[in-house]
Amino acid sequence: MAEAPPDATRIAADARDRVRFEEEALALSDQVYRVARHLAGSREEAEDLVQETYARALSAAHQFTPGTNLKAWLFRILRNTFVSQYRHERHNPTRGGLDTVDPNAQGAAPEQWLRGDLELDRLRKVVGEEIERALTSLSEEARTVILLDLEGLTEVEVAQVVGCAVGTVKSRLARARAALREQLRDYQR
């Protein structure tokens, strides 16, 4: 068989990358939608957000490097789209940036852990609707780090998505989880 000319080989390689990119990007639509739904809050807004995310991803497809983390790349576009287009349009119960929270506020205060059995019992019994409501009540920053962590992204990948230092992700995640626990504690009072 005659050897393919170099140009044809390059075109074929480009096409394979392109197919892989599209297959993988579309296969991630459930995960992208899942995060979008918890960020945007409603099905309609989440669908709009995901469509806009994929439109932007397609436009920027040539900037994606094959072999790198496509999921983190899509989440970064999703998050940027949400922040730029949706955040200002919605009433968002952000209660101050997580990075400005008193570091000593992390974890249970001494008088709280003495009531710890109540919290553990509450966490065992909490149902999906309550977790979703508590998550929705958190700031966009807090929800984002919790959701990305839940989707299995490493701290390095989360840092790439939200554009901050890895150490900041670690502290944001800890404070976001503490805030979520606080919200869930509120439901038992």
Partner 1 sequence: MTCEDAQSLLLDAQRGRLAVEARARLDAHVRTCARCTHEVAAEQLLSEALEARLPQHAAPVALKRRLAAAWPDPAAPARPSIRGRRWFVPALAVAAMLLLALPLYYPRASDRSTVMVAEAVNDHLRVLTSQHPLDIESGGMHQVKPWFEGRLDFAPVVRFLGDQDYPLQGGAIGYYLDRKAAVFVFHRRLHVISLLVFPAEGLPWPRGDLRRLGRADAYVSASRGFNLVLWREGELGYALVSDVEAPELIGLAAKLAPAS
Select the span of 74-82, 94-102, 104-112, 137-145 touching partner 1 (CB under 8 A).
Answer: 104-112
Q: From the list 95, 97, 99, 132, which residue makes contact with partner 1 (rule: CB under 8 A)?
A: 132
User: Does 90 participate in binding partner 1 (rule CB under 8 A)?
Assistant: no
Specify the DSSP class assigned to residue 5: P
| CA–CA separation, 32 and 71 (whole Å) | 8
Q: From the list 93, 97, 99, 120, which residue makes contact with partner 1 (rule: CB under 8 A)?
A: 120
152 conformational bin, left if phi > 0, alpha if psi -120 to 50, beta if neither:
left
Side chain identity, residue 114: L
Select the span of 79-87, 91-99, 123-131, 156-164 touching partner 1 (CB under 8 A).
Answer: 123-131
Question: How many CB atoms lie under 10 A from the CB of residue 89?
Answer: 8
Side chain identity, residue 48: D
Strands (E), 1-147: none
Cα(first)–Cα(last) distance of the chain, in Å?
77
User: Does 180 participate in binding partner 1 (rule CB under 8 A)?
Assistant: yes
Find the shortest distance in angstroms from Cβ 101 to partner 1: 14
Find the shortest distance in angstroms from Cβ 85 to partner 1: 17
Closer to partner 1 by CB, 46 or 72: give it: 46
User: Does 93 participate in binding partner 1 (rule CB under 8 A)?
Assistant: no
